[in-house]
Amino acid sequence: MPFDQKPPRTTLRSVASLVEAGAVAPDDRERLEAVSRDFAIAVSPAMLAAMRPGDPLDPIARQFVPAPEELDVAQADLADPIGDEAHSPVEGIVHRYRDRVLLKPIHVCPVYCRFCFRREVVGPGSETLSSTALEAAIGYIRAHDEIWEVILSGGDPLMLSPRRLSEIVAALGAIPHVGVIRLHTRVPVAAPERVTDALVAALDTEKAVYVVLHCNHADELGTAAAAACRRIVRAGIPMLSQSVLLRGVNDDPATMAALLRTLVRHRIKPYYLHHADLARGTGHFRTSIAEGQALMRALRGDVSGLCQPTYVLDIPGGHGKVPVGPTYLSADGPDGRTVRDPHGNSHAYPPEQDHKN
């Protein structure tokens, strides 16, 4: 339900301001101060307006308002959950797959998600990559002609000013072997007012540009967010989405189906559903992989294929992302295979002939 007081006009960045806004209980203050020493806090006006303040079970509040559970560090939690550091040849670049790199020009976000896998490195401080480091990072891309796609990540690249963003897009666009520029962002939902004509114009280049929206619940896509996405799509930029499977936010089939359909209705194609990474202090958000597979199974068949994301796990240690099912096909045997339909019934699939040579 909407905020009953007048929502603050600025982003809340401290436990004190969250207490004042009624978003956290005063009793939790001390423990949340401890959380805030480790992990940045930012709740934007748009996201504050989308939540029921003071209800820790609200799916929006749960994503952005710090919780005492973040102090519980499980043994499996990792400081660098997906092994970015192992693949960083120069500052600001992660080159894990041959044909694509991440370029991280900025370390800040409009909101700080409590489950973020980069929560150890994002936040206020050294806001952007220095211009020398940025030039070196772009130089690395220029020098590696196997790089076909550059993924702007961070931090949130749409937190850059239109001028800086257009400089980066122009520099990347001028590299002949770069075919695609992809941006991963939460700005259209968390700070839709930033998506101005000037910002969209900054993305104009001859190269293909894709915008991947990070969105985890249908309530994030209110009127202003929808208008921001429309502005991007109308500029000829296809949008995809990426979500994280989060306990208490979107881990039931009805909530997930509502999210996926809302995205598609706004012309945003669901791309990945991420299994929650082993980031420090995020155990309360993590489902089991079996629960994730069951959720995906529930969606298949009942929800349009357009709405289906690929459920992926980013293998700890920097080994890459892989789909983690569910699988519908049994192993190949002398009698062929069995394949399961969306209703859970098994069917025989005949042995396959070897047509090679």
Ligand X SMILES: *Cc1c(COP(=O)(O)O)cnc(C)c1O
Q: Which residues are catalytic?
A: 96-97, 100, 109, 113, 116, 118, 277, 314, 321
Residue whose C-beta lies closest to ligand X: 96
Q: Does 94 bind ligand X (CB under 6 A)?
A: yes
- How do 100-106 and 149-154 pair as beta strands? parallel
Q: Does 96 bind ligand X (CB under 6 A)?
A: yes
- Which one of 92-100, 251-259, 284-292, 298-306 is the stretch in contact with ligand X (CB under 6 A)? 92-100
Instruction: Give 106 or 151: the residue with its C-beta nearer to ligand X.
Output: 151
Q: Specify the DSSP class assigned to residue 351.
A: P
CA nearest neighbour of 324 among 305, 333, 311: 311
The contacts of residue 69 (CB under 8 Å, 6+ apart) are 281, 283, 284
Tell me which of 3, 97, 328, 349 binds ligand X, using CB under 6 A.
Answer: 97
Q: Does 46 bind ligand X (CB under 6 A)?
A: no
Q: Does 211 bind ligand X (CB under 6 A)?
A: no
Tell me the two tokens of residue 48: 């504050």
Cross-strand partners of 274:
244, 312
Q: How many residues bind ligand X (CB under 6 A)?
A: 8
Residue pointed to by tokens 């289906």: 308
Instruction: Give 134 or 151: the residue with its C-beta nearer to ligand X.
Output: 151
CA-to-CA distance for 308 and 328, rounded, in angstroms?
15
CA-to-CA distance for 326 and 334, rounded, in angstroms?
23
Please, are residues 126 and 165 in contact by the beta-carbon 8 Å criterion? no
Please, are residues 219 and 192 in contact by the beta-carbon 8 Å criterion? no
Instruction: Give 102 or 203: the residue with its C-beta nearer to ligand X.
Output: 102
- Which one of 33-41, 91-99, 155-163, 299-307 is the stretch in contact with ligand X (CB under 6 A)? 91-99
Q: Does 102 bind ligand X (CB under 6 A)?
A: yes
Give the x/- contact pattern for ligand X in 123-152, rule: CB under 6 A: ----------------------------x-
CA nearest neighbour of 87 among 75, 107, 76, 103: 103
Q: Least distance to ligand X from the beta carbon of 309, Å?
A: 11
Residue pointed to by tokens 């000037």: 198
Please, are residues 259 and 266 in contact by the beta-carbon 8 Å criterion? no
- Which one of 97-105, 120-128, 140-148, 192-200 is the stretch in contact with ligand X (CB under 6 A)? 97-105
Q: Does 100 bind ligand X (CB under 6 A)?
A: yes
- Which one of 66-74, 95-103, 113-121, 284-292 is the stretch in contact with ligand X (CB under 6 A)? 95-103
- Which one of 65-73, 96-104, 114-122, 172-180 is the stretch in contact with ligand X (CB under 6 A)? 96-104
Cβ neighbourhood burial of 327 (10 Å; 0-12, 13-18, 19+): exposed
Q: Least distance to ligand X from the beta carbon of 100, Å?
A: 5
CA-to-CA distance for 38 and 34, rounded, in angstroms?
7
Q: Does 164 bind ligand X (CB under 6 A)?
A: no
Q: Does 321 bind ligand X (CB under 6 A)?
A: yes
- 163-to-136, 151, 189 alpha-carbon distances in Å: 19, 19, 22
Q: Least distance to ligand X from the beta carbon of 322, Å?
A: 9
Would you tell me which residues interact with ligand X (CB under 6 A)?
82, 94, 96-97, 100, 102, 151, 321
